[in-house]
Amino acid sequence: MKKAFQKKEKTPILQVRELVKTFVNGDIETHVLKSITLDILEGEFLGIIGRSGAGKSTFLYQMSLLDTPTSGEIFFRGREVSSIDEEEKTLLRLNHFGYIFQDYALIPELTAEENIMLPLLMKGEDGEQAQRLARESLQRVGLEGKYHNRPNQLSGGEQQRVSIARAVAHTPLILFADEPTANLDSQSAEKVLEVLLSLNKRGQTIVMVTHDVEYTKSCDRIIHLDDGVIVGVDNLMLID
């Protein structure tokens, strides 16, 4: 597996330090993440794998600023961001992060193109530019010709590719994906992974959670999570 990433200098883009997440419901405390420290490197395709309940989604949500950790620090391009105010976090997410979820999270009333345009318009792009970026992005995931299809007029795999197109239309610095293949048959899952790999080959940093080792074969590095702790790391960049 020869990838552009191997030739690049490996600079950390996101650094997680002693991250702890404890959920408190009434007098019950659930210690889900137990002091995780990890660097995510620019341009890498990082996989996070572990059994159900290991804390994978919780970890992804903390590091991608969708949730606030109980303690610990997160540095994005050298700046501590877990403690910045909500407004700034929203801007950071909107401008620099992209998200893909297992259930696609598309708006059913909007076409593929409109689903992608919406966050671009929220970000302040004008309509023409938003449409141009949406179409370019749909082309990148192999969905030219499906601009006007609503989600119910697309297969599950195609819907997930629209959600990938939406996640990368604003050229985020990091793409976070939580089980992007979970609801798909193996052929559609392969196509989604192909799209992710092709984005990664163009330099996109990707962090992908999965519970299926089969889907980590395109990753540069695989973090094994169990019971809220990193229990192993496979560094596939070292294998040529």
Ligand X SMILES: Nc1ncnc2c1ncn2[C@@H]1O[C@H](COP(=O)(O)OP(=O)(O)OP(=O)(O)O)[C@@H](O)[C@H]1O
Q: Where on the chain is the footprint of ligand X (CB under 6 A)?
A: 23, 25, 30, 32, 50, 52-58, 211
- By the 8 A CB rule, do 179 and 210 touch? yes
Helix or strand run (H / E) with residue 106: none
Closest separation in Å from C-beta 157 to ligand X: 20
- CA-to-CA distance for 56 and 62, rounded, in angstroms? 10
Which of Mg ion, ligand X, none sits in contact with 50, Cβ below 5 to 8 A by type?
ligand X
Which one of the spans 22-30, 49-57, 87-95, 167-175 is the region binding Mg ion (CB under 5 A)? 49-57
- CA-to-CA distance for 62 and 187, rounded, in angstroms? 31
- CA-to-CA distance for 182 and 189, rounded, in angstroms? 8
CA-to-CA separations, 28 to 19, 23, 58, 81, 227, in angstroms, rounded: 20, 8, 17, 28, 17
Closest separation in Å from C-beta 111 to Mg ion: 29
Closest separation in Å from C-beta 57 to Mg ion: 3
The encoded tokens of residue 35 equal 């002091």
Sole binder of Mg ion in the list 33, 36, 57, 219 (CB under 5 A) = 57
Between 60 and 112, whose beta carbon lies closer to Mg ion? 60
Between 22 and 149, whose beta carbon lies closer to ligand X? 22
Is 184 strand, coil or helix?
Answer: coil
Which one of the spans 11-19, 57-65, 125-133, 192-200 is the region binding Mg ion (CB under 5 A)? 57-65
Which of ligand X, Mg ion, none sits in contact with 54, Cβ below 5 to 8 A by type?
ligand X
Applying CB under 5 A, which residues contact Mg ion?
57
